[in-house]
A and B are shown apart, each in its own frame.
Chain A
Amino acid sequence: DAGVIQSPRHEVTEMGQEVTLRCKPISGHNSLFWYRQTMMRGLELLIYFNNNVPIDDSGMPEDRFSAKMPNASFSTLKIQPSEPRDSAVYFCASSYRGFVLSGNTEAFFGQGTRLTVV
């Protein structure tokens, strides 16, 4: 298995531009997470999908951020308009959630997208 795949690996954009980050979870996983990592705040959970449905988006910082999961193998995180304070590393992770605790897996991370907004 190729693992969680994110693109692009690096993104540099100007303030005000739209940014779209992409993620392909591990095949068979039914949970997908978007995280943002900064030195000051660590790894913050932005949004969580289960079976392609957004379950918890309480971590999304503001309306400029949106996420979609149109099918089990693809998700996007969009920032519009982008601001310098959005500069961070964005990770996508996936896991399998079963009906019993012992069937659940840990979260597997993609390589991340380093976003710089200038």
Chain B
Amino acid sequence: QKEVEQNSGPLSVPEGAIASLNCTYSDRVSQSFFWYRQYSGKSPELIMSIYSNGDKEDGRFTAQLNKASQYVSLLIRDSQPSDSATYLCAVRRTGNQFYFGTGTSLTVIP
């Protein structure tokens, strides 16, 4: 079983719509969860981190965590063409290793 699983997509949404990205993880004791964005040919960059159950909002981005279901999601409101990228879900285990999903490719259509 993979540490982190994501739907690889691709996911296409029209400009201005809400994009919803989902992720599940296998290690119940994981405490820290992250969403990274990776543009083609570039390195991953952090956009959100979340440590507690519930929602965390930052501008147009909302991360949601449900530890009981081992589920993390990212909502992008008012999607823009510049949001088109691959979104990587990551989990930090207690030993500080970061494990990544294979990523979900998002395209925002103008």
Contact = CB atoms under 8 A, between A and B. Distances in A.
A35 B98 CA distance: 10
Prevailing SS type, chain A contact patch: strand
A111 B32 CA distance: 24
B100 interface: yes
Contacts of A112: 43
B1 to A, nearest CB: 15
Interface in B57-86: none
Contacts of B95: 48, 55-56
Nearest to B51: A101
Contacts of B43: 91, 109-112
Contacts of B88: 42-43
Given A108-B46, A111-B43, 16 more contacts: A41-B102, A42-B103, A43-B44, A43-B100, A45-B98, A45-B100, A48-B96, A55-B96, A95-B96, A104-B92, A104-B96, A106-B34, A106-B49, A107-B34, A111-B42, A112-B43
Interface of A: 31, 33, 35, 41-43, 45, 48, 50, 55-56, 91, 93, 95, 97, 101, 104, 106-112
